[in-house]
Amino acid sequence: MNMIIKRDKYLDELIGWKHTDLIKIVTGLRRCGKSFLLFNFFHQHLLSVAQTKATLLRLLWTTLAMKH
């Protein structure tokens, strides 16, 4: 059974810093939901406020092949 815990506090914090020029870094223990927070909750928020999907770019670095 997969249980999803919505992290409203952290999501609200990310949303609050969204329009700043600062680089946002999410830190935490291993497997505590950092990627899930960004790629699911924050991405859904961005989709809900975006004019079009074309304004969003989502990269999964682990699936990109590195070329030398």
pLDDT of residue 66: 54
Q: What is the pLDDT of residue 63?
A: 67
Positions in the chain whose pLDDT score sits under 70? 1, 63-68
The per-residue pLDDT for 3 is 84
Q: What is the mean pLDDT of the chain?
A: 83
pLDDT at 37: 87
Give exposure, 18-51, as e/b (b: 16+ Cβ within 10 Å). eeeeeeeeeeeeeeebbeebbeebbeeebeeeee
Q: Which two tokens stand for residue 31?
A: 């497997």
Residue 8's pLDDT is what? 92
